[in-house]
Amino acid sequence: MNNFEKRITEISSGGLHSLKVKTLQVNVGLQCNQQCHHCHLEASPQRKEMMEWPTMELVLEAAKNLHCELVDLTGGAPELNPSFRCFIAALRQENLSVQVRTNLTVLLEPGMESLPEFLRDHRVQLVASMPCYLEENVCAQRGAGVYEKSIQAIKRLNSLGYGYESWLPLNLVYNPGGPFLPPSQSSLEEDYRRELGNRFGVRFTRLLTIANMPLGRFRKELNRQNEEENYLELLRKSFNPLTVQGLMCRHQITVGWDGTLYDCDFNAALGLAVNHGAPDHIRFFNAEDLRTRRIVTGEHCFGCTAGAGSSCGGALV
């Protein structure tokens, strides 16, 4: 039994179980136009892994059977999948709510000129990475020029109604610039609103704070700086039992680019498929078995339960 499982057992016996599958998160590929220092999936322009259309059709069927509240598309940069628009159109045709996790800068890449209008016309909700309101912090984490391009993309989205209309949410995502926990989500949201509003006149809907998981490039960076054990210890000692009810793995499931099912995107980064007898590939999708499955956990899970907690939807408490 790993240390995380032991902490969970102190709260409830029998391990961590899902409660419902409200969200189907779909990783449509690991290719990205960026190569951020903290990326837990180690996405980059060189990655070739990409979800193909037959797998997307299976996801579509699963989403319909599940009556899920949201289909959450992620990557890499999901926009780089050649079937991205067809997939969204098919999901929306079934009246499924769709959210896209965008890194913003991809919207300025060649061939993406009409994509913001496409997203608006299909009422796609957006969650966009913006790890700080200060240029130097964004560029240090995500690369030179990323801040300026991100602001340009937000302005374009604002001009289409994103961040203004209730049906076009534009949520921004903060993550720490190093091995520390995010500050209070609500007070940081005020800072973002003030700073981005005053400097550029841009608007967004909500700010989501997400902790850096000790995985992928971030873990390698910690290792290089000899900080890995300190960070893991910080996560362990910041365990907050109040976060357990809302852990995202208890309310969603992730489909990897090749159709493998994972309890979350972080388990996907580790290659830890759904287990404990539940179906582990979209081909065998069974809503009933997955709804109350036992979740596969590891030391990295302390990244979700530290402090105010962390999930793809931001802080948990």
Alpha-carbon gap, residue 6 to 12, rounded angstroms? 10
Pick between residue 60 and residue 107 the one whose CB is nearest to ligand SF4.
107
Rounded least distance, CB 198 to ligand SF4, Å: 26
Q: Is residue 141 within 8 Å of residue 37, measured between CB atoms? A: yes
The rounded Cα 191 to chain-centroid distance in angstroms is 22
Residue 39 beta carbon to ligand SF4: minimum distance, rounded to whole angstroms:
3
CB closer to ligand SF4 out of 61 and 289 = 289
> Measured from the CB of residue 79, what is the shortest distance to ligand SF4 in angstroms?
11
Report strand pairing: 98-102 vs 252-255.
Answer: unpaired
Residue 253, strand partner residues: 24
Tell me whether residue 77 or residue 153 sits nearer to ligand SF4 (CB atom).
77
H/E stretch holding 173 reads strand 170-174
Least Å from the CB of residue 94 to ligand SF4: 26
- In 3-state terms, what secondary structure has residue 254? strand
Sort 1 into a burial class: Cβ within 10 Å, 0-12 / 13-18 / 19+. Answer: exposed
Q: How far apart are CA 285 and CA 279, in angstroms?
A: 6
For ligand SF4, the closer of residues 28 and 77 by Cβ is 77
Q: Taking the complex as a whole, how short is the minimal distance between the CB of residue 97 and ligand SF4, in angstroms? A: 21
Nearest Cα residue to 56 out of 34, 23, 89: 89
H-assigned helices in the chain: 3-11, 53-66, 84-93, 115-121, 135-142, 146-159, 185-200, 216-224, 228-237, 265-270, 287-291, 302-305
Q: Residue 183 or 246: which CB sits closer to ligand SF4? A: 246
CB closer to ligand SF4, 290 vs 295:
295
Q: Which is nearer to ligand SF4, 60 or 260 (CB)?
A: 260
- Angle (CA) 89 54 290, round 5°: 90
Residues that bind ligand SF4 (CB under 6 A): 32, 34-36, 39, 41, 43, 75-77, 103, 129, 247-249, 263-264, 266-267, 295, 297, 300-301, 304
Query: C-beta of 127: minimal distance to ligand SF4 in Å?
Result: 11
How near is the Cβ of 33 to ligand SF4 at its closest, in Å? 7
